[in-house]
Amino acid sequence: MAQRRADPDGHTDSSPVTLYGEFTSTGNRKVRCAVSLTERDLVVQRLTSAPVGRNKVVLSLKDCVGCRAYRAADNADPAAYLSAYFYPLRRRWMSSGPVRLRLEQSFRLCALHDPRANLDEAEKWARAVRDRADRQRYLRDGVLIGELPRPCRMMLLVNPQSGKGQALTLYNNHIQCMLNETGVSHTLVITERQNHARELVREADLSQWDALVIMSGDGLLHEVINGLLERPDWEEAIQTPLGILPGGSGNGLAASIHHYSGASPVSSEDLLVSCGFLLCKRLVSHMDLVSVHLSSSPRLLSFLSLAWGFVADVDVESEKYRSVGAARFTVGTLVRLASLRVYKGRLAYLPATKDYQGGLRNNETLHCNNHTSSLSPASLQCQQSRDSPCQNTFHNSCHSNNSLKVRKKESTPSRNTTKAPPRPRDTLLLPLDQPLPSEWVVVQEEDFVLMLAMYQSHLAEDLLAAPDASLDDGVIHLFYVRAGISRTALLRLFLAMEKGTHLATNCQHLVYTKVRALRLEPSSPKGIITVDGEVVEYGPVQAEVHSGLTRLITG
């Protein structure tokens, strides 16, 4: 929040001033300002005869995304200019809570007649503001996982058809400006068809970028993650930091990241600005992925959810209401409630409290204590810099896929990805045609209204499905609703899910548990199963969580 800091006695923050200068305003050269930089704030005081409190602005460097120094286009002007960019939390009229709003502070430096000396002074200020802003971290559980380098290079993939079809407009109105202010060099790639992003990241030379950012719904990130896992160098590729910007109608992961930051719930463009701000802060955290096995299709890696029954039906059937944005799920829920279905099947799971870990190695079932993945956390540490400086010939510019040339990795041979060995190795799952180990819990009921496995907090912008979830908690949050629930009770459950209070409704038909693996065997002849909102092969399915397998930009 951009506001004056005060201690319990009402005194303003007394952090020592590290830089001080008197500059004129760029909007009115008659207005002079005293500018002070502390470790935590940028303080701007107009030099007038009015009382101090009326002309003093204290801007928290936690809200600063960048600062730059520059010369005017007019070479006859010897002055240099300094602009700092902030996105403080402010209450806007008619908003339910604080939202991030853009604020720019610009000054004219003309203390010397030498243009070079003025620019040097402005650049000194810009570096100092950026350095101190980078020190103001929103830590996750008090631990800094890592950060992207500055300057930073990103590939930004945009699906122009996602959501209401306004992703490119939203990029032009918000994201391009934010990335430029932060000094992020980015290449814009506009996807043209399904699996375009998957094919691109599977073959691209990832050394060109420090991060891959997806601006779409959750489906495009699903493509990118599975494309990375299909590479021969998947262990290195999956550590490429990923970013998500909400451009679709679901936006479950983007809403989860916003939720983890501790901010009040927002939606639509306010959520986009919030996620853009977190992206610009460049902090990186580990994120779980879930290995999903189907009966005959290639294995998938999932980052958000696995759904069967009511939730999957609503997700797919509400596609016809895509034009209304996130409200499509509300409309779809009401339509499906009018003709509530019962889904038959068998559900089993391995509770998260169990120490047991079984797996199939050399056609044998093994018990491996304290071993959850072939990748250790130490192998996933964030690299804070690249060996070479930032070089990007597409600096901050928009390119269609017809003109953008993304270099392919020369060492990548052509291959049939369906024959690639399972990676990473699953240690908890047996083949779908084999019986489950005795340590698994088998649900006695076989009539369900829904089964929902969540790995992050939000299923959509307005659905806080797993309020206890975190990015890398190493568990699957499993929900299922038994048959027999009334339409009114189910509606009440989904309304409570908007605020994450559904677990406190004491609904007798709702069961929630934390698991490390699960298996579902539908017996209904027809139905829908979705993974990250994408329809997959209908039939037996099982899943296992891999803790902290990839990395996500969370600010």
Active site residues per annotation: 218
Secondary structure string (H, E, C) spanning 51-89: CHHHHEEEEEHHHEEEEEEEECCCCCCCCEEEEEEECCE
Distance CA 118, CA 406 (A): 40
Backbone angles phi, psi at 81, to 5 degrees: -125, 150
Q: How far apart are CA 537 and CA 525, in angstroms?
A: 13
Q: Taking Cα atoms as reference points, which of 471, 458, 532, 469 lies closest to residue 499?
A: 458
Q: For residues 514 and 352, what is the distance between their CA atoms, to the nearest angstrom? A: 6
What secondary structure letter does DSSP report for 140? B
The answer to whether residues 418 and 299 touch, using CB atoms and an 8 Å cutoff, is: no
CA distance 408 to 201: 9
What residue spans of 449-537 are helical by DSSP H?
A: 487-497
Alpha-helix runs per DSSP H in 379-531 = 487-497
Radius of gyration of the chain measured on its C-alpha atoms? 26
CB 531 within 8 A of CB 306: yes
Assess whether the previous peptide bond of 151 is cis (omega < 30° from 0): yes
CA distance 111 to 120: 12
Contact 302, 287 (CB under 8 A): no
**What gap in Å lies between CA 209 and CA 186, rounded to an integer?**
9
Residue 356 near residue 349 (C-beta atoms within 8 A): no
**How far is it, in rounded angstroms, from Cα 410 to Cα 449?**
50
Q: Which helix (H) or strand (E) holds 508?
A: none
475 contacts 354 by C-beta, under 8 angstroms:
no
Contact 16, 39 (CB under 8 A): yes
Neighbours of 478 (CB within 10 A): 23
For helices 310-317 and 328-338, angle between their N-to-C axes, nearest 10 degrees: 120
Separation of alpha carbons 436 and 429, rounded Å = 9
**Which residues 6+ apart lie within 8 Å of 421 measured at CB?**
none
Kindly give, in sequence order, each residue whose CB lies less than 8 Å from that of residue 513, ignoring residues fewer than 6 positions away: 349, 351, 352, 478
DSSP secondary structure letter of residue 486: -
Q: What is the DSSP letter of 98?
A: -
* Cα 475 from Cα 470, distance rounded (Å): 9
